[in-house]
Structure 1
Amino acid sequence: MFKKPLADLKTSAPIRSSDRRKLKQKVVDTYSLTAEVGELLVPDGLQSQKFSTHVNEHGIAYLSREGDPLWFTIGKASDELIPTVYTLWKHPNLLPFLSTPSAVIPKLINGADLMIPGVVQHTSPLSPNQLVSVTQYYPGMKVGAPIAVGKMAVSSEVLKESSGRWESGGEDLRGKAVFVLHTWKDWLWDMGPSKKMDLPEPRDLSANQAVNEDQVVEDDVEIASQDGTKKTNDETPPSATVEGKAEEAEQQEEETNKVNPEVTLTPDEVSTVLRSAFLQALSTSLASLPTSAYPIPASLFWATHVLPARPIYTDQGPIDPTFVDAKHSSYKSVKAFLKSSAKEGLIKLKEVKGDVVVTAVYPKHPAVASHRSHRTLHSVEEKREKAEERERKEKEQEEKKKSEIHAVELWKPHEKTIPFFVSAEKDTQELYTGAQIKQIFTTYVETKQLINARDQQYVNLADDNGLFEAVYIKGQETPEFMKREEALKRIRDNMQPWHEVKVEGSDAVRKKGAITPITIVVKVRQGRKAATLITGFETFQLDAEVLAEELRKICASSTTVNQLTGKPVAMQVMVQGKQIKKVVEFLISKGVSEKWIKAK
């Protein structure tokens, strides 16, 4: 849910004391807590912040005074308070838990739901739609810190049934166990200033957690030994008991790897598999083909539609797809197979120069209607190709990020703003980002109780000399009340601008002054000859000579480098012709953000 940045994050605002008390009482009643624990989980100074997720789901986050998200709701009409991982670390026993192997956790953080094969142990009873936490599995009577919160997709009885199948050597049940709502290190977690906290150590599994005894013993799954006896984790390394489950969870929707080796098929069995593939093709790809696509040569028909529809499993187990072909069947050839299918009324053939072509198909044949769909070789290959393509794009994105030139605006307390930062107990020699200044300002007006009682969008400037001085601008009237955003802007305007530029492979460079964008402008010279002029690239550690040489090749035009008049350290690169588009694309490829490119 929070795997991508929030689409619309509003300004946080403190909630009234009466509303906080109501929230605290609701938490106490919902989770059967004492008043003291309720005070810890719904502390004084609570703030609310409205947001929309990347899929346009509206919600409210409740933040601590410091800004850590503690609770959230999802849905405009929903008032269900869901604890964040920050809150679960304060009170780990707040929700029932399910444990999963460490290999699964990165998948959950990346936005996946927890699948049934990934559940190693869990508390009982659990019912669908119940809020639960997800923890990392540890052998013995230990349980890891919560790393996710979500809602049950199934009951604990379904999980027990899946575990029983696995222990007896069968396949786990498929499907989702938990719909994950929020995880450690997702975008909701990253909102908090405490996001760099280390993961807590695993804790002892206490008896008062209402853990079903059978499920605790799931950690000690009995494994059949070669001599037919049973042995438990007392005799086997704990990792061995979870290995199959971890493998299942990693692959999730993939076929279980606890299967027999690829089976050897007889010619008749190959024919049966090919017929199944043929019926699958008739019910899918061939059913949607227009009549204009016919006639189709037999070889093309076979390679394009029948072979990709071959199943990857039979009742005996997995099969080698390279072996399942007409020459290994009882038909011995594609032509014989198709003629047999034509006699059955599934297709219509025509002889052409000793070969056959398919002129029509009949997907409404009773044999097609009674065919049971299967997972095809094409679907597996398509999924693998998509995974490879996704991995390739992720690598490209990572490489692109590495080559990016990171330019950050910074501000330093200066003159009129120094008393404000002293009063806020902040270092006046430090450089601050815009987000940090906003956080300091928000905390300051809340702590000093400067929020206007009538309209929380406004702050009372007259009640605090430090803030009043920080927003004062000579020649402009400073009212008693001012909107937060306007006050924040004035504070930044009164601070000393700095910037930091970081290029991969070199140290970050901090300099006084605001960031000056790279300017690209086309000017017409004598004789109506146009030239593209580029200036301001020194800020981004780009060399003029290197820039000119690369642009000469890209634009296929002559380039020159000149010193700007009156600016001894500033250079200008000139490219013959109207080359704005190519120059912009080139600068972006070099890692310069489009934000810092000004083209005229």
Structure 2
Amino acid sequence: MSETTGFNRRKLKADISAAFPSLSADELSELVPNKEEINVVKIYAHKGEAVTLYVLHKNPLFFELEKRLYPTVYVLWRYPALLPTLRTWTPVLQKLIGGADLMLPGVVVPSSGLPDVKRGDCCAVTLVNNRAPVAVGTAAVSSAEMHSSGMKGRGVCVVHTYMDNLWAFGDKSVPPSLPDIENDGQRVNGDEFETDEEEEEEEEKEEVETCVEEERSAGEMVTDQVCSGIEELTLAEQKEEEGEKGNEEEEENQDDQKTPQEIMDALLVQCFLHALKSKVKKSELPLLTSTFLRNHMFACCPNGKQLDIKKSSYKKLSKFLQAMQQQHNLVRVKELTKGVESIVEVDWKNPELRYFNVLEETGGEAAPVQDGGEGETPYHPPEITTLYSVSARLEPLFLEANKRKGAILQPVEVRNIVTEYVKKNELVDGNNKNYVTINPTLCDCLLEKSEYQEVESLKWDDLFSRTLRRMQECYQVVFPGQTPMIKKGHIEPIDISVASRGSNKKVTLIKNLEVYCLDPAVVATTLQRRVQASSVLQPIPGAKDKVLVQIQGNQIHQVGSLLLDHYQIPRKYIQGLDKALKGGKKK
């Protein structure tokens, strides 16, 4: 995060004024004051794009994506008329937050008609009965094309929504209630709304049918999402009026009213109760909290849902379990080893647990369960892929491919982009096609200062290797049934070492098991059974949520056998196997 300089501030004002000419000089000065601190932050948007945020008083005001400025919802709530707007139904918002674009069948057309927009114009999305914008994007087609298409197809390519990462960077306030002055006499896709309640319902039913027809003809997933959102709302209203039993529809409709954080909180409690009721046995206590999460709670997650504590209001497992202990008296958690918490007691007679109904359909894609080598569900090792991030120095080389600083690429993508750049700029040596002529951009990006005057061409392999060396190395880890994780730097290998304790006694130390979703407690128990030696778990100083496994004797051969043969961890991700005694004998 860095404060803008005076020059940048003036440029930002000029860019905002050019992009949004309706802003007056006073409004512009209010948004970008001369003496207030403005920060520039680079983050990833909810669809994965790298954007630059301009932040005032902890709230992002504008963001830059592909050299274009957009206002955030925080600005639009202050100036709702800043952009032309399209209106949609409340259930559609959840789909937009999830990454969908706004489809035209879901657009509510006011009596005054659609705003005059051209393809690519910046526009906002509002909800019926409230003028406070909830999404920002670009028009996929012009307003004339919207009419000529019969309001079918894509309407707005959404780049930012209420409740996404950009919104979460600010104070997380909710949209203000701004009365919709054009609500009277509005029409849906050209059909007038009547004041009579029953006729309004008929119009809404016709709108749902129109959406379904559009989905069938275009076959677009996002259209299906928009239509299903409207259909859920209409069905729920019909059930209430007719007095029918519609529990499932009502629950879905209630979910639409909840925030993603509230939904994740409810899912956590559901998996927690399910795990206690059907997975945990009294003989297992005390049970490491990390083992409880990985082996039991993840296994109880319903099909199609993903358990992620970081997306809940608790953020950490320890805080969630503390709430279950203090507010519900379901469990008792204790720190048996310094820094390592365990569930030591479960109140099996607690009414909340006793009357909890276990759902049948769970765990289709749960996190891998470790069985210590002799159990039921096999451990599946993660898929680890080396990736590369575009550095500031290499950005000019990747600009033609629309890849800015921070873009994450696979090695083959890097090779293809560099090859395309060379061919497009006609840099292949005419006399020897194995060489590439160095132009000013390649010189600045790939050569050392001492080489500027000497090197005029490079071999293709040298060109690729220099490019990769100057990029930020990253890695992607994919565990079965879990969202891929991308982290900067090199992945930490599982480290095995031997140390002396007391009178020349040897102990084997194992760390970084958590990086590969291996539970230290399970690994320690398995090793203890295999080598008939005692083991202990110790917190690693300065390493949060990591535990060191210590087992008596030089057991590197046995540890290696367990990791390589049973858990199938690739050898290159295990460090210290060379310290094993010959023949695997204990010392």
Q: If the length of structure 1 is used for normalisation, what is the TM-score?
A: 0.39
Instruction: Please say which structure displays the higher CA radius of gyration.
Output: 1
